[in-house]
Amino acid sequence: MGLHNTNTVQCVWKAHAKLGEGPVWSVKQQALYWVDILNRQLHRFSEYLEQNTWQFDEEISSVAERAESPGLIVTLRHGFAFFDPEIPKLERLAQPEQHLPGNRFNDGKCDQLGRFWAGTLDFDCQAPTGSLYCLSPDLSCSKMDSGYGVTNGPAWSADQKTMYHNDSKNGRVYAFDFDLKAGRLSNKRLFLQFTKEDGSPDGMTTDAEGGLWIAHWGAGSVTRHDAEGKVLQTIQLPCSQVSSCAFGGSELKTLYITTASVGLTPQQLEHEPLAGGLFAIDMAIAGVPANTFRG
C-alpha cells in the first residue's frame, strides 16, 4: 500500500515495552516523551541527555507538555493529572471515569488552543464503552463523543478545520468538523475503513504539509494519507504491533514510532526481537511542534 521510504528505520531504544504509546516531542527539552501503558512507565528519550524512566502505580497512557508551568499533563487509568518529572510530583485533576472500573484512558493530544483531548477504552478491548473527553485549560472536563471499542488519535488537519479520531477495534478512522475557537465537534463521518490486511488504525500525527500519518497495529507499518484518505507513503517496521508516531528532532524531521510486545507468542517474539522498541527514521518532510496544555 503506497510508496516505500528508502531511509532505514532504526531501533533507538530496545525497551521491550508491553504497550509503547503516546510519543510527543518536547521542543524545549529536545527530547521525546513516550509511555509503556501496561508497564505503567513514562520514558524520556534524547540523543543528548540520558534516557529516563518514571514508574507509576497505575497505567499512564498519554502525555503533553504544559505551556506556562513546568512539567506535563498526563492521562492515568481513570482521568487526568499534572506530573512534574523533575520533582517528581503528581497532582490529580478531573477523573471522569472513576465509575467505570473496567475502562481506562488511552491516547490523547492537545489542540492548538491548549485543550487536552483524550479517549478511553474497555480494558479488555471488547465492550463499546470508550468515550472521548476534552479537558479545558480551566480544568473543566466534557464528554465529546462515545460508543468506541478502542479510542486512538486524535489528530488535526493543517487548517485545524478537521479532527481525526479512531475506533481501532472496528478499523475506523473518523473525521469531524472541528470548531477550534469553540472546541466543538460536528458532522462525524467515516474517513477510512481499514481491512483485516491493513491491521487496526492506532496512533496518528500530522506533518507540516497536512499529511496524516497512521500507525497500523497488527500490520507492521505507518502510512501517510492525503485529505481524501489516499495513501502517499508507507514505512515498514520489523514489528507487527505498531502503536503510534510523532515527529521530533531539531528540525522536526525525525519520525519516532512506538511499538508493543503484548500478546505476542514466544514464537512471534523470536521473529520480532525488537517488539516494544522505540524506532526512528529520518524524513524529508517535517512535522509540526506538538501543542501544549494551557492550564
Residues annotated catalytic, as ranges: 202
Q: Are 137 and 293 in contact (CB under 8 A)?
A: yes
Strand order in the sheet with 62-65: 62-65, 72-75, 80-84, 89-92
d(CA 75, CA 108): 8
Q: H or E stretch including 278? A: strand 278-282
Residue whose C-alpha is closest to residue 87's, from 71, 98, 74:
71
Question: 248 - beta bridge partners?
Answer: 254
Residue 250 burial (10 A CB sphere; 0-12, 13-18, 19+) = exposed
Residue whose C-alpha is closest to residue 64's, from 95, 110, 120:
110
Q: Are 176 and 163 in contact (CB under 8 A)?
A: yes
Q: Is the bond leading into 88 cis (omega within 30 degrees of zero)?
A: yes
Q: Are 72 and 66 in contact (CB under 8 A)?
A: yes
